[in-house]
Amino acid sequence: MRFDKYTFGAERVDYLGHQISTAAVKTTSTKVDTVKTFPTATTIWHLQEFLGCNAPLAGQRLPSPKQSPWCTKTTVPPLKLTTDASNVIFGEVLEQIVNGSLQRLALFSKKLKLAETRYSMFDRELLTVYLAIPHFKYKL
């Protein structure tokens, strides 16, 4: 256990752009200022850039402008979904590969129903993958 990663007994903690305290959870002022000062989209192309690197708007493909600067500088690290099932429980781990090492993003586990415990091992593994996709749909 790496104790330098943890903070114990703190009155306030800054975490992922939020200030978490005993009184409330607030968005940090830098995040709020970034959103307030973001330029307003004046054309469909600017709106497409804001929505995510020239994504089609309402299912229609419009002539694409030059890619926005933040899309060309950053790349999304690949994701890895690992699943495993036993006789009574299954688990899933969604990880992100960054600089050759895995970083956990989310975990999910669930106890199998009585009928599911009688499935063959292949079917339990398949059920685990089947349930992992909708559970992590927002990330995949």
Q: What is the pLDDT of residues 28-46, one digit of tens each?
A: 888 778 767 777 777 767 7
| Residue, of 99 and 64, whose pLDDT is higher | 99
pLDDT classification of 60: cutoffs 50, 70, 90: very low
Domain spans of the chain, in order of start: 8-73, 79-135
107 exposed, middle or buried (CB, 10 Å; 0-12, 13-18, 19+)?
exposed
Give the chain's mean pLDDT.
78
Q: What is the pLDDT of residues 104-115, one digit of tens each?
A: 989 999 999 999
Between CA 8 and CA 29 the distance in angstroms is 24
Across 67-92, average pLDDT? 75
The amino acid at residue 98 is V
The pTM of the full predicted model, rounded to 2 decimals, is 0.45
| Residue, of 32 and 78, whose pLDDT is higher | 78
- CATH code matching the domain that covers 79-135, chosen among 3.40.50.300, 3.40.50.970, 3.90.1150.10, 3.10.20.370: 3.10.20.370
